Amino acid sequence: MAIPVVDLAEFSGTPQQKAAFVSALGHAYEEVGFVAVKNHGIPAGIVEAMYTCAKAFFALPQEVKNKYEIPGLAGQRGYTSFGREHAKGSTAPDLKEFFQFGQTVTDNDPVKAEYPDNVEVGELPSFSPVFVEAYRSFENSGLKLLQAIAIFLGLDEAYFDRWVHNGNSILRAIHYPPITQEPKSAIRAEQHEDINLITLLVGASADGLEILNKQNQWVPVTSLPEQIVVNVGDMLQRLTNNRLKSTTHRVVNPPRELWGSPRFSIPFFLHPKSEMSLACLRSCVDTAHPRAYPDATAGAYLDERLREIGLKK
What whole-number distance in Å separates Cα of residue 14 and Cα of residue 161? 22
DSSP symbol at 124: -
CB-count burial class (<10 Å; 0-12, 13-18, 19+) for 264: middle
Amino acid, single-letter form, for residue 122: G
Contact 266, 172 (CB under 8 A): yes
Q: Are strands 198-201 and 228-232 parallel, antiparallel or unpaired?
A: antiparallel
DSSP H helices in 37-126: 44-58, 62-66
- Strand partners of residue 229: 36, 201
Contact 42, 137 (CB under 8 A): yes
- Strand partners of residue 99: 79, 173
CB-count burial class (<10 Å; 0-12, 13-18, 19+) for 135: buried
What whole-number distance in Å separates Cα of residue 233 and Cα of residue 69? 26
What whole-number distance in Å separates Cα of residue 249 and Cα of residue 33? 10
**List of domains in the chain:** 5-308 (2.60.120.330)
What whole-number distance in Å separates Cα of residue 235 and Cα of residue 283? 16
What whole-number distance in Å separates Cα of residue 41 and Cα of residue 23? 20
pTM given for the model: 0.91
List per-residue pLDDT tens for the chain, 313 residues long. 568 999 999 999 999 999 999 999 999 999 988 899 999 999 999 999 999 999 999 999 999 999 999 988 878 899 999 877 666 666 667 778 999 999 999 999 999 999 999 999 999 999 999 999 999 999 999 999 999 999 999 999 999 999 999 999 999 999 988 876 666 656 656 788 899 999 999 876 446 788 888 788 888 887 777 889 999 999 999 999 999 999 898 877 766 777 777 888 899 999 999 999 999 999 999 999 999 999 999 999 998 888 776 666 6
Residue 131: other Cβ atoms inside 10 A? 25
Number of H helices, E strands in the chain: 7, 13
Residue from 227, 194, 229, 181 nearest 208 by CA:
229
Calculate the alpha carbon distances from 202 to 118, 141, 235 in Å: 22, 12, 21
